[in-house]
Structure 1
Amino acid sequence: MSQTTAATADRDTPADDTTLRVLSASDLAGIDITLADVVDTVENAYRTLAAGQSDNPRKLTVKPTDGHSVSYAMLGRDGSRDVVAIKTSYKHGLDKGRGEQHYYTSLTLYDDTTGLPIAMMDCARIGSLRTPAVSALLARECAAPGARAALVIGTGTQGRLALPFLLTTLPDLDRLMVFGTHSEGIAAVREQLRAHFPERDVEIVADLRAAAADADIIVATAGGHTPAAVEAEWLRPGTLSILVGHGLAPSALHRADRVVATSEAQMKVTGTDMADGDGNLPAVDTEFPPVIAGITAGRRSAKERIFAYNSGLVVTDIALGHRFAQLAVAQGLGTRVPLWR
């Protein structure tokens, strides 16, 4: 399917500059896409960015002084797809339990070849796939040679697909561990793993320190209220620690031998909880796009303890969102809204 197919819509409702295809969460939930397709789409977005063909400005953040909510706005352009988009994200109730929180995120895509809108979509599924795909790519590029054991901390949205994606890029992993505090989340982790890799199972760990000491790769995806906080001294030489949400103590960053970030600028915005006592973050040794492109090394030696910061880049949302829009158009999904009439 060509880049502009998503903008041309179906024959009965041709696209113009006054209508917009809206894709709901239920529309997107019905679209089948393989984990390998997601990984390839995200990887190509990184390669295009590293080649200087895409634009990914620093995200804008708004947060009230009492910290009860946070909002982000991210504008970007994918140069290989000729797509411009803006993503918005709003989370309310950060001072409350998970069940009382509200979270809304959306992505609006425009075709920069025709000048027409492509689609506006709920971005929750995009993020739930994109983020673990990035962690899996980080693991592929930065894990020590022969890595066999992976530990996921957290069983929420990001934790549930972390292991299936890791197995997609590192199929030789033979010990899969998860640390979580919610029984329904642990069950969901096991369900997702078996859905994608029916022959595999996960080991539920209670002793986080012992599990961290055994792990070659740690992916920390827990929420802000987690009791988990893996310290640097728990980690053996060669460990790769990937921070997505929470679950790693600041020492894991500050005492790492090498620091990799998807974006150093975004790490400075969203990673302030990892700052030292003076409010400082260590310098990033390399960003991830040039690692994917083979310009810089993700790992320099087998013994390095590497800390990787996985913050979302809007170009990956754009690429994956556009891929979903293509699939949605092919299936006739979505609702045409005369937004600008």
Structure 2
Amino acid sequence: MPTPELHILTRSELAGLDISPQEVIGAVRAAYAAYAEGKSRNPAKLMMPVPAGRDAVSYAMLGFDGALEYVGFKTSYRQGTDNPDKYYTTISLYDDTTGLPYVFMDCHRVGGSRTPATTALIAEECARPGARSALLIGTGRQSLNTLPYLVTRMPQLEKLRFFGTHPEGITATAATFAQYFPDRKLEQIGDVPSAVAESDIVIAASGRAAHPPVRTSWLPPGGLLISVSSKGVDSSALAEADYALATSESQLGVTGSRFDSEDGAAVLDAEFPDVVAGRKPGRRSGDDRVFAFSSGMVITDIPVAHALAAKAIDAGLGQKVQLWT
């Protein structure tokens, strides 16, 4: 029997790795397809607010990627909703074909890649035919790749705008987009309701938003509102939609309970993996105002983490630890 070894990879080691939007989006789409086919498992996210009145919350997710045949454990802890420096997230992967541990790594780069990949896929499947404009609301660390990934998947988009309030986030958002699409124009806006009314695709990824909470009813006919677990979306958004979907109905019940109707749980028309598999449509008609709730599923973290880990290990990065000796 081989001696179990765990590769440990740090945030700085992962930050310099080259992984293309196409590679990440392909891995995430394959993960949704495998889940829709019943090959993968993704129990609902476990969320626990820390007691004693502290402004802190912890998450845990467990899943099995049937395409790669890897089990993943992801944990996240944040102290202070507005403090990005006190947000820590990790993922561990185990090879189910050999029964051996593979890697323990920082998950910041993973989340910052698979989240915009999911957004791009939702937009591709659920936007109205002929969509030409998109608006990003929020310029946090998890939003930096949103517009580059979106345009990678939907190059026909012509009018690209964003809203942000933090100078560092605004600069980083513009710089990241220019890195991928130096010849494309990106416009910063200040009036969120007016911009929403003029956008085919609206991606709300803001935390405690410095803007009016976005409503689905603000969208033009055929508009799509994607909430990336955003606090900047009004609790009426799902109820106002002509068509509503979520990446996971069970996780909507954990992290999106504020969208519940007065007489019970939120009612969805589809789960996104079924849309990827072609079993459900992304919308019923071109005039539908569609609301999509995107909550991270660990089955999408696993293949992105695996791809990054493989690149890092091939480059000789990280440490090997034999915890079980």
With the length of structure 1 as denominator, give the TM-score of the two structures. 0.91
- Offset, 1:16: 4.1
Identity among equivalent positions (%) equals 46
Rounded to whole Å, the distance in 1 between the matches of 2:288 and 2:217 is 14
Name 1:19's counterpart in structure 2. 5
SS where residue 250 of structure 1 aligns?
coil
2:312 pairs with 1:328: yes
Q: Report the equivalent of 2:121.
A: 137
Match in the other structure for 1:259: 244
Equivalent residues of 1:272, 1:279 under 8 A apart: no
Aligned residues: 323
Tell me the residue number matched to 2:255.
270
Deviations 1:146-186 (A, max 9, x none): 00010000001122211101101110000001011112211
Q: How does 1:21-60 map to 2 (within 5 A)?
A: 21-60=7-46
Report the more deviating stretch, 106-115 or 157-166: 157-166
- Contact 1:193–1:201 (CA under 8 A) maintained in structure 2: no
Aligned to 1:78: 65
Equivalent residue for 1:10?
Answer: none
For 1:224 and 1:296, locate their aligned partners in 2 and report how far apart those are by CA, in whole Å.
Answer: 33
Letter in 1 for 2:203: V
Are 2:243 and 2:288, in contact at CA under 8 Å, matched by a contact in 1? yes
Question: Would you say 1:166 and 2:153 are equivalent positions?
Answer: no
Ranges in structure 2 where 5+ consecutive residues have no aligned partner: none
Alignment partner of 1:197 is 2:181: yes
Structure 1, gaps ≥5 residues long: 1-14
RMSD: 1.6
Give the CA deviation at 1:67: 5.8
Quick check: 1:87–1:108 contact (8 Å CA) kept in 2? yes
Give 1:249 deviation, angstroms. 1.2
CA distance in 2, matches of 1:226, 1:20: 43
Residue 44 of structure 1: CA displacement? 0.4
3-state SS, counterpart of residue 106 of structure 1: strand
Give the counterpart letter for 2:12 in structure 1: S
Asked if 2 retains the 8 angstrom alpha-carbon contact of 1:68 and 1:93, the reply is yes
Pick the aligned partner of 1:313 from 284, 297, 317: 297
Deviation of 1:295 (Å): 1.3
Corresponding residue for 2:231? 246
Cα distance in 2 for partners of 1:323, 1:219 equals: 26
Point out 4+ residue stretches in structure 1 off by more than 2 angstroms: 15-19, 64-67, 224-228, 272-276, 278-282
Asked if structure 2 preserves the Cα contact closer than 8 Å seen for 1:17 and 1:116, the reply is no
Find the counterpart in structure 2 of residue 87 from structure 1. 74
